[in-house]
Chain A
Amino acid sequence: MTALLEVSGLTVRLPAGTVLREISFAIRPGEALGLVGESGSGKSMTAKAVARLLPAGAASTGSITFDDRNVLGLTPSELRRYRAEVAMIFQDPRAHINPVRRIGDFMTEALRAQGVPAAESLRRAADMLEQVGIDDGRRRLRQYPHELSGGMLQRVMIGSALLTSPRLLLADEPTTALDVTIQAEVMAILDELRRSRGLSLLFITHDLELAGAICDRTAVMYAGQIVEVRSSDRLHDDPLHPYTAALAAARPDIAMTRPRLRAIPGRPLSAFEAPEDQCAFAPRCAHAADACRSSAPQLAALDGGQTRCLRAAELRGKLEVIDA
C-alpha cells in the first residue's frame, strides 16, 4: 500500500538553530500515527511543516510528499486545495477561532469558499455537530465561541476540520488543555470518526499512553529527531529505544505507589542543543556506551519497527519495563 503522506529526510532550520533533523516517516491511507515527545522534541514543528505553517524564516530541506505531490513546492492555488485535504486542529481552540463571529460562520467558511451554497453548508455543519456529540446543532451554530466550554469548542474544531472531507488530519495536542473526562470523550469521538471515514491521522501528544489508545503506530521524538517507530500495542511492553522505555517508566502509576519513580537524570534536550556527532540521548542514557558518544546513530529497522540506537539489538528484552 503506497503511503498517503511520506516525509523523507526533513530538516528544518530557524534563525535560532535547527529544529528538525532528518525526520522520516510515512502514513498510509486510513492509518493513525502518534508522535510523542517532551518539550523541544520538535513534534509540533513536524506537524506545522506538514501543514505548511512553519514560522517565517524557516528553511526546509528534504521532502514531504502527499499523494505523490511535493508539499514543500506547492503553488498558492495548489496550496489552497491541499488545505482542504489536510486539516489541522490545535491545542487551544479559543486561540484559533474568531471570537466575534458565530460558530456557524466559522464552520461553513471553508465550504462556502468552495462554492457550496450557504443553506447547504449550514445543514452539513449541523449534521457534523451531531456526529461530534453536540445536541441541538442549529442553536449552537448561532452561538458565539465564548458560549461554549473548552471541550465543546474542541469538538466544534474537529467537526469543522472534517467538513471539507480531508484525507489527513493533523492534531497537535488537541486534548492537553481539557479535563481528563472530557479528554476521553473527545478522543473517543476522534477515533470513531477517523475509522468511519478512513481518515489518516497524525496525532501529537506528550502522553505515550494516550497516543497508544487511538494510533496504530507511535513514533517517539527526542531533540528534533525520531528515535523510535513501533506499533502502539508493542511500544509500551517491548520498546526498542532506551528513551521510550525510560519515558514509560518515569510516569507514575495509577494502580500503585512506587517507592521511588525512575526519573531520567538531566533534562530533555531541545533540538537547538543537540550535538551532531553523537547520540543526543547518550548523556542521560543508562545504557550508553563509548560508541554512543562518538558517533550519531541512524534510524534503522528492527523487529517490525525502527529505532535510532547503536545498541538496540543487544538491548532487546533488557530495557526496563514497569508492569502495570
Chain B
Amino acid sequence: MPDVLSVANLTKKFGDFTAVDDVSFSVPVGGSLAIVGESGSGKTTIAKMITGLERPTSGTITACDHDRSRAGRSARDRRRRGREVQIVFQDPYTSLDPRQSAIGAIDEVLRLHHGWPSGRRAQRAEELVCLVGLDARQARALPRALSGGQRQRVAIARALAAEPRVLILDESVAALDVSIQAQVLNLLADIREATKVSYLLISHDLAVVRQLTEQAIVLRQGKIVEQGPTASVLDDPQHAYTRRLRDSVPRPGWKPVRRSSA
C-alpha cells in the first residue's frame, strides 16, 4: 500500500537541545498512526514540522509524493500543502477565530482552495457542517456561544474543507469531557470511513490511541523507543518505558504504585 505520509530521519535541534532525534515512520493511505508520548517527547514538534510551522534541522518529510521538508516557496505551494495535510489542535477555545462563525471559517477555507461561486461554496459548507454533526444554529453562531465539543467539531469541519489526505489530530480530544470525547471519537471514525482520509493521532491517552489507530510509535525524549501495530504495542510492550506508560493508565482495579524518588 503506498504511503500518504512518510517521515525519514527527522531531527530537530533547538541550539544544544535535541527535541526530535532521527525519527522515521510512515502512514499508509487510509491508515491511522498514533504518536504516543508525554511532555518533552517531541510529538508536538513533529506535528509542527509536518505542517510547516517549524523547520526540520535534518531529515525528510514527504506527503502525497511531494517533499515538504523545507518551507513552501510560493503561495501556490503553501496552498497545495494545505490540501495535503491538515491539523486539528487540542484547545477548542483558542483554535477558532473568535470573530468568525463556523460557516464563515469554512467558507474562507473553501475560497482559498477552490475557485467556486458562492452558491457552491455555501452548499459544500452545509455538507461539512452536517458531516460533523452541527445544526444550523451552531453553524452560524460565534465560538463563544458554543461548547468545547461543538468548537472541536467546527475545527474538524474547517480542516476537512481543504479535503486533506492526512489529518493530524494533535491531542484533539484531550480537552473534552468524557461523554463528548466519545461522540467526537465516533465522529472521527465515521469520517475516516466515509472520506478515506488518513489520521496521524498525537496523544498521551493510550485508550484513545487504542480506539482510533492501527499503528503506533512511542516517543521518549525525542527518540522512538517502540513501534508496531497498536494492539501489540499496548498488549505486549517490549520497551520498559512503554510498559511503564501502560501501567500508569487508570482502569478498573488499578492501584498506583510508588517508584523511586525524583
Contact = CB atoms under 8 A, between A and B. Distances in A.
Interface string B234-262: 11000000001111111111111111111
Interface residues of B, number: 46
Interface size, A (range): 35 or more
A134 interface: yes
A258 to B, nearest CB: 7
Contact of B207 (A188, A252, A268): A252
Nearest to B148: A39
Contact of B38 (A130, A180, A188, A250): A180
A213 interface: yes
Contacts of A263: 179, 182-183, 185-186
A264 B182 contact: yes
B8 interface: no
A254 B262 contact: no
A189 interface: yes
B256 A187 contact: yes
Contact of A236 (B245, B252, B256, B260): B252
A184 B147 contact: no
Given A130-B261, A133-B262, 20 more contacts: A133-B258, A152-B262, A180-B205, A181-B245, A184-B248, A188-B257, A191-B256, A209-B250, A213-B256, A250-B182, A251-B178, A253-B210, A256-B210, A261-B211, A263-B179, A264-B183, A265-B183, A267-B149, A267-B180, A324-B251
A294 to B, nearest CB: 25
B179 A250 contact: yes
A155 interface: yes
B208 interface: yes
B256 to A, nearest CB: 4
Interface string A155-194: 1000000000000000000000001111111011101100
B134 interface: no
Interface string A84-105: 0000000000000000000000
B153 to A, nearest CB: 11
A140 B252 CA distance: 36
Contacts of B181: 250
Given A255-B210, A255-B235, A264-B182, A189 B38 contact: no
Contact of B262 (A151, A191, A250): A151
Contacts of A267: 147, 149-150, 177, 179-180
A262 interface: yes
Given A179-B39, A180-B204, A256-B210, A210 B259 contact: no
Nearest to A212: B252
A183 B252 CA distance: 16
Interface of B: 38-39, 147-150, 177-183, 185-186, 189, 204-208, 210-211, 230-231, 234-235, 244-262
A206 B177 contact: yes
A47 to B, nearest CB: 18
A189 B258 contact: yes
Given A134-B262, A251-B182, A180 B245 contact: yes
Contact of A252 (B179, B210, B231, B247): B210
Contacts of B254: 209, 212-213
A188 to B, nearest CB: 4
Nearest to B214: A257
A104 to B, nearest CB: 17
A257 B231 contact: yes
Contacts of B210: 252-257
